Amino acid sequence: MAMDTGLVLTLVVAFVAVVFGLEGGYLLWDRNRGPEVQRLRRRVRNLSAGGANRGDLLKTQESSFMEQLLLTVPRLSALDRIIEQSGRDFSVSRLLLACLVCGTLGFLAIVLLNRPILIALIVGALAGAAPIGWVLYERGKRLGQMEAQLPDAIDLIARAMRAGHAFPATLQMVAEESPDPLAQEFRIVHDEMNFGLSLEDAFRNLAKRLPIDDVRFFVIAVLLQRETGGNLAEVLGNIGALVRSRFKLLGKVKVLAAEGKLSAWILGLMPIVMAFVINMLNPKFMSLLWTDPTGLNLIYACAVMYVIGVFWMWRLVKIRV
């Protein structure tokens, strides 16, 4: 009986210890990596990306020494802003590490296949640039979403001001009622004003964070109204109508340019597809291109002309409105 009681007490103590250990681990994780902490750190990084006293904000962010050292390089500081504009929550050092790992793996994969060292270097460079390309793609997609959401936000501000609300209150309404990601940027503007920045500085930071022409028009209108006066609600209403008209025109241009884009895709993919098909049907016929020195020279010349042609077609079908 005594033995059974001791065993039961041991199990109870072990259970309590495990429960307290799990609870302590959760509290430690929540204090350092919890959703609220991540949200605050993301807000601080967004504020720092806008240029608001970057040194102090980075200290608050508790970034590593390597991160602070990398951000002293001008180009890498611009890369940090691009990461913030993409909406992704990782640092410049992690992105550069991903580039290094992808480039090394791509280079080693081609070398292990016994291909020429020049091809291995090209593949390694392309693989190393892939993470940056992904960040640029995410940045473009996020900026496009905000550009599409901007007219509704401007109309909301104009209607709220006509209803008698103060301009800072309308910014808070946009931050609370508009969808993300645009609402996140207006929350940053509202936070900067609460932290003590003037409205002019907060809006200049908004224009720095968002390289969108419509956002610059909005910021210029607000700053001019603050200096010269006037009916800001009417001005914002006109800007919202102008942005919507531009989107309609952009839609028409996309429809008219769709045929050219399809032709560009077909012409761009045709050489690659045909080379793959011919190599599958007659490998000996295609092998001369990388086994014979003349064939290698032809590949290099075709690659250069292919890049020039793709760039030229891309410029022809890219119409800015």
pLDDT in tens, 128-140: 888 888 989 988 8
Cα(273)–Cα(59) distance, integer angstroms: 52
Q: What is the pLDDT of residue 55?
A: 38
The whole-number average pLDDT for the span 287-303 is 82
The whole-number average pLDDT for the span 95-124 is 84
The whole-number average pLDDT for the span 262-289 is 82
Average pLDDT score over the chain: 77
Higher-scoring residue by pLDDT: 299, 2: 299
The whole-number average pLDDT for the span 170-194 is 84
Per mean pLDDT, which range of 33-42, 87-96, 146-155, 262-271 is the poorest? 33-42
Pair 45, 61: CB distance under 8 Å: yes
Q: What is the pLDDT of residue 54?
A: 42
Higher-scoring residue by pLDDT: 32, 296: 296
Q: What is the pLDDT of residue 112?
A: 84
pTM of this prediction?
Answer: 0.64
Higher-scoring residue by pLDDT: 299, 53: 299
> Is residue 35 predicted with pLDDT exceeding 70?
no
> Is residue 75 predicted with pLDDT exceeding 80?
no
> Is residue 59 predicted with pLDDT exceeding 70?
no
In the structure, what pLDDT confidence band is assigned to residue 218 with cuts at 50, 70 and 90? confident
Q: What is the pLDDT of residue 62?
A: 44
The whole-number average pLDDT for the span 150-169 is 85
Q: What is the pLDDT of residue 11?
A: 65
Task: Provide the percentage of residues in the chain whose pLDDT is more than 90.
Answer: 0
In the structure, what pLDDT confidence band is assigned to residue 52 with cuts at 50, 70 and 90? very low
